[in-house]
Amino acid sequence: MRWEELDREPCSLARTLSVVGDRWTLLVLRECFLRVRRFEEFEQRLGIARHVLADRLKKLSDAGVLEKVPYQERPRREEYRLTEKGLALYPALQALLDWGDAYMSGPEGAPIIRRHKSCGHAMHAVQICSECGEPFGARDITAELGPGAQGEKLPSGVASPKGK
């Protein structure tokens, strides 16, 4: 598997990583969720080289995760806003934050507390089954071939659907 060919792998995780799979891209997305929109503000907050930032913003825009929206006409200036596709990445980033809070924080605890606006409580992400509503973890899941896997080489550990 070659890094530049991940978008063609028969695996949704590999295809996702082809868009968001490097540290700068994830940090750009973090800033987007903290409502940063303008190039100079990304640059200042991240301390990232201009060409690296421009590359990551272009990649996210080309993938439909961000869209460029004009905020000034003369001179024309644009800002980057999350699309629906981009907003759908929020649970993944929350899961990474929870992991970082649990395993990478110092003894003083998490550097940022996330608070639910509706109830006012500090919170963390929880995974629940979309069908029964029960929480689940890695040991509670099995994987089987889906309709998009026909004729493709699949990762080991993926079972055939029942009856096939």
One-letter amino acid identity for 125?
Answer: A
Q: Which range has the worst mean pLDDT, 7-16, 91-100, 119-128, 138-147?
A: 7-16
Per-residue confidence band for 1, with pLDDT thresholds at 50, 70 and 90: low
Checking if the pLDDT of 164 tops 60, the result is: no
Of 155 and 73, the structure prediction assigns the larger pLDDT to 73
Residue-level pLDDT at 161: 65
pLDDT at 10: 75
- pLDDT tens for 111-149 read 999 999 999 999 998 999 999 999 998 899 998 888 887
Q: What is the CATH topology of the domain spanning 6-89? A: Arc Repressor Mutant, subunit A (1.10.10)
Burial of 42 (0-12, 13-18, 19+ CB in 10 A): buried
- Average pLDDT of 49-63? 97
Spatial separation of the C-alpha atoms in residues 49 and 16, rounded to whole Å: 24
Tens-digit pLDDT profile for residues 19-52: 999 999 999 999 999 999 999 999 999 999 999 9
- At residue 151, the pLDDT reads 62
Res 163 pLDDT > 60: no
pLDDT of 3 higher than 80 = no
Q: What's the 3-state SS for 81-125?
A: EECHHHHCCHHHHHHHHHHHHHHCCECCECCCCCECCCCCCECCC
Average pLDDT on 93-121 reads 94
pTM, two decimal places: 0.84
DSSP line for 26-73: HHHHHHHHTT--SHHHHHHHHT--HHHHHHHHHHHHHTTSEEEEEEET
- Sequence-separated (6 or more) residues with CB below 8 Å from residue 109: 101
> 75 pLDDT exceeds 80?
yes
**How is the chain split into domains, by residue range?**
6-89
